């Protein structure tokens, strides 16, 4: 599956983007589309997550979008010139993980026979979607967690979001400078008394959308000439057409 993440720097288009998310859920090949609003104090950010059956399904959708079917989505994505317009656009081949013996491993991997441990490099993007029983105490703890985590060295972004239509349906977006930094964060979190024990996020049955934990090598994109290209020009490849990473 193809994971798509759009982060918007402000919520001016909340109503329009909510309608877009509803329309996306009706698109052929779209397995999930959810719009979330930040829970961080003093911020006005939105995150739109999508899951597509495959890259071909997304390509067909985006061609229709560019032809005029979804102007509320296309305009901010293709007309923005910097972080004031859209924080990021990211694409990934979906990979879900599970926690085993203190290590995050691919959910369907057979770690018992693994003999190769591939190298890790570049920023680490984490996407977590879940559903919980929402309480005011939980929201207070989430806001404190956001502020505390963002103080950590190497934390590029850390934010909890809530579905604009479904209270208690949460999205966590983390971005760490590299794997070493994330490993340090994970060890620090486990050793810090304030974050050990009850986080007040009691799991609930989701009304819609996936419940998953996903880890990626961060890939930021910008839209040029009707195509999504890596935001970093040094990441362009013209001699090899690489598959989704």
pLDDT tens profile 31-50? 999 999 999 999 989 999 99
Residue 200: Cβ-neighbour burial (10 angstroms; 0-12, 13-18, 19+): middle
Sequence-ordered list of residues with C-beta below 8 angstroms from that of 67, at least 6 positions apart, any chain: none
How confident is residue 81, by pLDDT bands cut at 50, 70 and 90? very low
**Is residue 8 scored above 80 in pLDDT?**
yes
Helix axes 14-24 and 71-79, enclosed angle (nearest 10): 110
**Is residue 60 scored above 60 in pLDDT?**
yes
pLDDT tens profile 226-243? 889 888 888 777 777 776
Yes or no: say if 2 and 244 are a contact pair by the CB < 8 Å rule.
Answer: yes
Under CATH, which number does the domain 2-109+119-233 receive? Answer: 3.30.70.100
**Is residue 10 scored above 90 in pLDDT?**
no
Sequence-ordered list of residues with C-beta below 8 angstroms from that of 128, at least 6 positions apart, any chain: 170, 171, 172, 174, 212, 213, 214
Residue 46 CA to residue 14 CA, distance in Å, equals: 8
Average pLDDT of the segment spanning 12-22: 89
Q: Which residue has the tokens 């207070």?
A: 140
Residue 82: the pLDDT is: 45
Q: What is the DSSP letter of 217?
A: E
How confident is residue 83, by pLDDT bands cut at 50, 70 and 90? very low
Domain boundaries, the chain: 2-109+119-233
pTM for the model stands at: 0.90
**Is residue 61 scored above 80 in pLDDT?**
yes
3-state secondary structure of 231: coil
- C-alpha distance from residue 202 to each of 27, 80, 133, 138, 174 (Å): 32, 38, 6, 9, 21
Residue 53 CA to residue 138 CA, distance in Å, equals: 34
- How does the average pLDDT of the chain come out, rounded? 87
66-80, 151-165, 187-201: range with lowest mean pLDDT: 187-201
pLDDT more than 90, % of the chain: 60
pLDDT tens profile 143-188? 999 999 999 999 999 999 999 999 999 999 999 999 999 999 988 8
- The residues with which 221 forms a beta bridge, in sequence order, are 230
Residue 130 CA to residue 48 CA, distance in Å, equals: 15
């Amino acid at each position: 599956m193809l994971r798509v993440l759009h982060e918007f720097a402000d919520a001016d288009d909340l109503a329009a983007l909510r309608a877009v998310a509803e329309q996306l859920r009706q698109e052929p090949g779209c397995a999930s589309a959810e719009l979330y609003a930040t829970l961080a104090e003093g911020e006005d950010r939105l995150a739109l997550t999508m899951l597509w059956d495959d890259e071909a399904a997304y390509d067909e959708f985006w061609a229709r979008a560019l032809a005029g079917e979804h102007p509320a989505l296309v305009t901010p994505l293709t007309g923005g010139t910097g972080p004031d317009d859209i924080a990021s656009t990211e694409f990934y081949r979906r990979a879900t993980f599970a926690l085993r013996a203190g290590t995050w491993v691919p959910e369907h991997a057979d770690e018992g026979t693994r003999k190769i441990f591939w190298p890790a490099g570049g920023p680490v993007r984490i996407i977590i979607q879940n559903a919980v029983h929402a309480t005011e105490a939980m929201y207070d703890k989430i806001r404190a967690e956001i502020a505390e985590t963002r103080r950590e060295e190497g934390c590029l972004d850390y934010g909890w979001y809530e579905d604009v239509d479904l209270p208690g349906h949460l999205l966590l977006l983390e971005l760490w400078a590299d794997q070493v930094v994330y490993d340090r964060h994970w060890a620090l979190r486990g050793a810090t008394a304030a974050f050990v024990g009850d986080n007040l996020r009691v799991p609930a049955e989701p009304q819609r959308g996936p419940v998953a934990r996903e880890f990626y090598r961060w890939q930021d994109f910008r839209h040029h000439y009707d195509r999504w290209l890596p935001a970093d020009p040094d990441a362009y490849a013209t001699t090899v057409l690489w598959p989704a990473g």
